[in-house]
């Protein structure tokens, strides 16, 4: 790649070339996903040796910069192809991608109505619809950049509720306690560290073998802490645990929250999307009794990263917790300015892509997508269960299928699947044993495709067993 | 718009239509920016009456969904056209847009090397180059979703430094103090509220009339707080204030920080990009003596929202503050997993667009873009100064030009400019007076364009004065 002299401002890529390049980029990505669903596995050293990653000061004509972008994308693991089962998101929705491209082009900062206009109304429509489905039709909410920060924001609301002077005067040194099951997401402990409560404030509520909080343990723990001078700040129930996809028993937990007056947050980052399905939303029964709820649409609803909502049962809470005076910014339509109730100041508009996808699929289409994931998970679980060389941990609670290949290390197997360009699948620990954790998050998958990947997995496992 | 029955999964937009639609979306946005740089001003009620914003459950064929997206974008205020001077970002860089589109397509979660691969190296290269320019070549850093959260993350590092047990055990009820000038960004107080230190922990250090911290006041304040049992946690120096674009005197502030041992953070969200310009980087002289620095590339470097970096002088700090055990996630190349040193778990890749733009423009091109902004600001300031009906607040410190139209309310004027589709320009308070705050953030502007907008502004002001 040769270097050209620095060019003056304005020399940049001519406007009329941009649409064609965008089309080429999209087309090439789709072709690559079809032809090469696993990009060749390469180590960091190999990548650094073959691609000019360092920013070395030189300039490239736009055509060469574009070629470099294509090279880098060709070397990037695909999370949108049919071989990605490694995380709690995957697949691709063309309409959502167009919505996201629209958000990139508009570049609306989402803090004021003046600069963002109708995009503010789009975001509100998304939050309203999510709130209705979550049983929080009168609350408000905000879009945060990911589920970890939605959970953090919820913890701030809970902290300010339990310790009302904490926002202005800081924490008084009280022994705060947060209750979450042992299978809760790591962002709960992280948020406690950020919010000044301390990671040690998180008390682990026992979970059953399936990963569900044992609600009967919760009440006594709260009573005990109160009796010994602790300040219960928050209960975090999980709707869709990371490893097993389990749902905590929300009605029983809400009973405890109501009796004790402790803030109930539902971390439905993973499972919230099940609310769009009449067939499966019972898994979240009772969530409308919570004070707040995190829901990541970028997981099961197949929109690009990220699209996370924090919803609240009561209105006005986000502005109470996050508003700051800023007369240079919030001035003309301040009540409409979402920046007053957001963790961020200027931010990318994460809502437009989901809004457009929902307009396109409709409620029934959204439901069908979720139902499809459950069908795929049940199919894989049945395949695993009927295979004598495999051990299914338990029937899947939702769309995570955890199993072992007898006689094979799950860790080694998953690494081999990755390095041999078969598939990205993760491993985890269930019942004290390392297992394959295969997540079904792409409604476009067919059962035949799942079968084919399982067969390849078995072949790799046989190879490992025979030392190949 | 008619409704179609829900479609089965897989019905979605055919892959081969997507590239053409992406091209159409980009092309239409560029045409609109040229032909209609101000989209027609409409109130929320008008927008809700004319566009089907609510998510009503119905489904639209993808062609209709696409048409709806175009309608919404046509109604969205443009922040990328030649009439947007309202915020600390603006304009458009075609190459950066392509980089962002690449990030959307790849959908890399940026928490693990396994799922993100070379994108992790791209992000590291960006952080490394920014760190070198900031005089922090041996530190580390992270990308956060916006400057407010970068500042928040810095406050967590400072808090954990001053009160080392706070991450694990929470805050002990000590009287923490944070020092920031009266002209600092509102995110400092907000972060103090989030971090458990309390908004009241922020002590306002006097600023001079230009908005620069009076460093000579800082040391005595710290000494006084220490003497009365306070715990100084952090000094926040601002490099580029929101209203006047002023730069705090970093060498004098760093002297105080070193003498007192208090963490020094430089909020260069706005001004950090000046570091790419050999001509103007002296404004940030001394920033490498700070402990941490926030730098938003989405402001002066014209990449889409958001691209914010938190840089640290010493290595390892982010992982110390933000790492959590997560064996299901961080497993194969954990040292390479940026999720261990990030505020977020899965997140959008904000670095690729900046990386590609830097590769394209090169150091000299980046510098030329920044220098151009200073030239434009000086041009506008000279025009204002020479006009008898205008009062320039003071020569611009960087690229914000603040002035009054004599006899006209700046607030009314800016509102009229917006409602009459002339331009988006903000107002603010300087020296106790309401002023027009015009920010020059698009290097593609010509001085002729600036002159033309100023002439239109004067015409609107005359109209207001005459009651039109």
DSSP assignment of A198-226: -GGGEEEE-B-TTS-B-HHHHHHHHHHHH
Beta bridge partners of A266: A237, A293
> How far is the first Cα of chain B from the last one, in angstroms, to the nearest whole number?
40
Contact B105 A29 (CB under 8 A): yes
pLDDT tier at B334 (50, 70, 90 boundaries)?
low
Region label for A432, one of left (φ > 0), alpha (ψ between -120 and 50) or beta (otherwise): left
Residues of A in contact with B145 (CB under 8 A): 145-146, 149, 344, 347-348
Going by pLDDT thresholds of 50, 70 and 90, the confidence category of residue B452 is very high
Closest Cβ opposite residue B117 in set A22, A76, A352? A76
Distance from CA of A390 to the nearest CA of B (A): 20
Query: Of A100-104, A289-293, B216-220, B337-341, which gets the smallest average pLDDT?
Result: B337-341
- What pLDDT sits at residue A216? 98
Kindly calculate the radius of gyration of chain B based on its CA atoms and give it in whole angstroms.
Answer: 24
| Cβ distance of B168 and A198 shorter than 8 Å | yes
> In chain B, pLDDT over 90 holds for what percent of residues?
93
Q: Which of A52, A105, A128 to mutate to test the interface with B (most CBs of B within 10 A)?
A: A105
- Check A55 against B359: CB less than 8 A apart: yes
Please report residues of B whose CB lies closer than 8 A to that of A22.
19, 22-23, 25-26, 97-98, 101
Among B121, B168, B305, the residue with its CB nearest the CB of A109 is B305
* Closest chain A residue to B99, measured at CA: A69
**Confidence class for position B443, pLDDT limits 50, 70, 90:** very high
CB contact under 8 A, A169 and B336: no
Q: So what's the pLDDT on residue B158?
A: 98
CA proximity to B84, closest of B449, B466, B468: B449
pLDDT exceeds cutoff 60 at B291: yes
Inter-chain CB proximity A9 and B197 less than 8 Å? no
CA proximity to A110, closest of A339, A321, A402, A356: A339
Name the residue facing A368 among B8, B166, B346 (closest C-beta).
B8
Q: In what order do the strands lie in the sheet with A400-405?
A: A84-85, A424-430, A433-439, A400-405, A390-392
- Of the candidates A10, A26, A166, the beta carbon closest to that of B18 is on A26
What local confidence, expressed as pLDDT, does residue A326 receive?
82
Q: Among A9, A166, A410, which would you mutate to test the B interface (most chain B Cβ atoms within 10 Å of its Cβ)?
A: A9
Cα gap B261→B448, rounded to integer Å: 50
**A201-238 per-position pLDDT tens digit:** 999 999 999 999 999 999 999 999 999 999 999 999 99
Q: Do A359 and B87 touch (CB under 8 A)?
A: no
Nearest to B57 among A98, A327, A362 (CB): A362
- Report CB contact under 8 Å: B65, A356: yes
Closest-CA distance of chain A to residue B327, Å? 7
- Sorted by where each starts, the structural domains of chain B and their CATH numbers stand as 22-84 (no CATH), 96-357 (3.40.640.10), 362-466 (3.90.1150.10)
* Distances in whole angstroms, Cα of residue A219 to Cα of each of A216, A256, B137, B368: 7, 6, 52, 64
CB contact under 8 Å between A429 and B105, yes or no, is: no
Contact criterion met (CB < 8 Å) for B149 and A147? no
| Cβ atoms of B281 and B275 closer than 8 Å | yes
Q: What are phi and psi of A77, to 5 degrees?
A: -55, 135
**How far does the CA of residue A468 sit from the closest CA of chain B (Å)?**
20
**Closest alpha carbon to B281 in B240, B313, B310:** B240
CA-based nearest residue to A399, from A379, A377, A381, A369: A377
Cα–Cα nearest to B230, from B165, B175, B160: B175
| H-state helical runs in A287-342 | 317-322
Give A-chain residues touching B120 at CB under 8 angstroms. 44
Q: What is the mean pLDDT of chain B?
A: 95
Q: Tell if the CB–CB gap between A173 and B176 is shorter than 8 Å.
A: no
Nearest Cβ partner for B59 among A120, A333, A360: A360
Structure-derived torsion over alpha carbons of residues B250, B253, B257, B260, reported in degrees to the nearest 10: 170
Q: Which residues are paired to B392 by β-bridges?
A: B403
ipTM: 0.96
Nearest to A95 among B12, B327, B418 (CB): B12
Bridge partners for A403 per DSSP: A392, A436
User: Chain B closest CA to A118's CA: distance in Å?
Assistant: 6
pLDDT digits (tens, 9 = 90+) for B57-84: 999 999 999 999 999 999 999 999 999 9
Flag if A146 and B21 touch (Cβ within 8 Å).
no
Contact: A368, B6; criterion CB under 8 Å: yes
Facing residue for A51 by CB, picked from B9, B118, B298: B118
Q: CA triplet A144, A148, A153: central angle to 5 degrees?
A: 55
User: Inter-chain contact B170–A146, Cβ cutoff 8 Å?
Assistant: no
H-helix segments, A143-214: 147-162, 166-169, 187-194
Q: Could B198 and A168 be called an inter-chain contact, meaning their C-beta atoms sit closer than 8 Å?
A: yes
**Contact criterion met (CB < 8 Å) for A118 and B326:** no
Measure CB to CB from residue B18 to each of A18, A94, A347 and give the nearest one.
A94
What is the pLDDT confidence band of residue B325, given thresholds at 50, 70 and 90? confident
Which residues in chain A are contacts of B25 at CB distance < 8 A?
A: 22, 98, 101-102, 105
pLDDT at residue B332, rounded to an integer = 65
| Number of C-beta neighbours around residue A411 at 10 A | 17
Report pLDDT for B173: 83
Per the CB < 8 A criterion, the answer to whether B419 and B375 are in contact is no
Between chain A and chain B, how many beta carbons pairs sit less than 8 Å apart?
Answer: 539
- Phi first, then psi, for residue B230 (nearest 5°) are -80, 160
Measure the CA–CA gap between A443 and A315, rounded to whole angstroms. Answer: 34
- Cis before A456 (ω within 30): no
Q: Collapse the DSSP code of A267 into the 3-class scheme (helix H, G, I; strand E, B; otherwise coil) and give the result.
A: strand
Radius of gyration of chain A from its Cα atoms, rounded to whole angstroms: 24
pLDDT tens-place string over residues B369-391: 999 999 999 999 999 999 999 99
pLDDT averaged per 10 residues in sequence order, chain A, 468 residues: 43 88 98 96 95 96 96 97 95 97 98 96 98 96 98 98 96 93 96 97 96 98 98 98 97 98 98 98 98 98 98 95 86 79 96 98 96 98 98 97 97 96 96 96 96 98 89
Cβ contact (<8 Å) for B347 and A428?
no
Please write the tens of the pLDDT for every residue from B344-374. 999 999 999 999 999 999 999 999 999 999 9
Interchain pair B79, A108: CB under 8 A: yes
**Taking the model in full, what pTM does it have?**
0.97
Q: Are A415 and B332 inside 8 Å of each other by CB?
A: yes
pLDDT at B30: 97
Q: What is the pLDDT of residue A1?
A: 33
């Amino acid at each position: 790649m040769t270097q050209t002299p620095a060019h003056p401002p304005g020399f940049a890529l001519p406007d009329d070339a941009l649409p064609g390049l965008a089309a080429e980029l999209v087309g090439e990505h789709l072709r690559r996903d079809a032809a090469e669903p696993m990009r060749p596995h390469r180590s960091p050293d190999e990548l650094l040796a073959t691609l000019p990653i360092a920013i070395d000061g030189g300039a490239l004509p736009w055509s060469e910069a574009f070629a470099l972008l294509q090279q880098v994308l060709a070397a990037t693991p695909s999370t949108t192809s049919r071989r990605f089962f490694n995380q709690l998101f995957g697949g691709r929705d063309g309409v959502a991608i167009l919505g996201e491209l629209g958000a990139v082009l508009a570049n609306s900062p989402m803090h004021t109505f003046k600069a963002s206009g109708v995009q503010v109304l789009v975001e509100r429509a998304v939050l309203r619809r999510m709130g209705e489905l979550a049983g929080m039709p009168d609350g408000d909410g905000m879009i945060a950049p990911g589920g970890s920060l939605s959970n953090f924001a919820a913890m701030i609301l809970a902290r300010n509720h339990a310790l009302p002077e904490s926002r202005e005067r800081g924490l008084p040194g009280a022994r705060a306690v947060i209750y979450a099951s042992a299978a809760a997401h790591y962002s709960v402990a992280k948020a406690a560290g950020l919010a000044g409560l301390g990671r040690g404030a998180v008390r682990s509520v026992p979970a059953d073998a399936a990963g569900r909080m044992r609600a009967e343990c919760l009440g006594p723990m709260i009573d005990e802490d109160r009796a010994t001078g602790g300040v219960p700040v928050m209960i975090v129930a999980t709707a869709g645990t990371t490893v097993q996809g389990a749902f905590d028993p929300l009605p029983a937990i809400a009973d405890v929250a109501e009796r004790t007056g402790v803030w109930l947050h539902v971390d439905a980052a993973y499972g919230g999307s099940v609310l769009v399905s009449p067939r499966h939303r019972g898994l979240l029964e009772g969530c409308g009794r919570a004070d707040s709820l995190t829901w990541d649409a970028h997981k099961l609803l197949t929109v690009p990263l990220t699209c996370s909502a924090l919803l609240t049962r009561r209105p006005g809470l986000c502005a109470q917790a996050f508003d700051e005076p800023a007369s240079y910014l919030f001035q003309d339509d301040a009540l409409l300015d979402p920046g007053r109730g957001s963790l961020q100041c200027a931010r990318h508009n994460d809502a437009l892509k989901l809004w457009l996808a929902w307009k396109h699929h409709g409620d029934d289409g959204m439901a069908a997508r979720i139902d499809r994931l459950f069908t795929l998970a049940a199919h894989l679980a049945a395949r695993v269960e009927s295979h004598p060389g495999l051990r299914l941990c338990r029937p899947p609670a939702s769309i995570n299928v955890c199993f072992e290949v007898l006689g094979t290390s799950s860790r080694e197997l998953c690494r081999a699947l990755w390095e041999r360009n078969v598939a990205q699948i993760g491993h985890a620990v269930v019942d004290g044993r390392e297992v394959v954790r295969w997540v079904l998050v792409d409604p476009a998958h067919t059962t035949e495709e799942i079968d084919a990947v399982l067969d390849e997995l078995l072949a790799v496992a046989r190879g490992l067993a025979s030392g190949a």
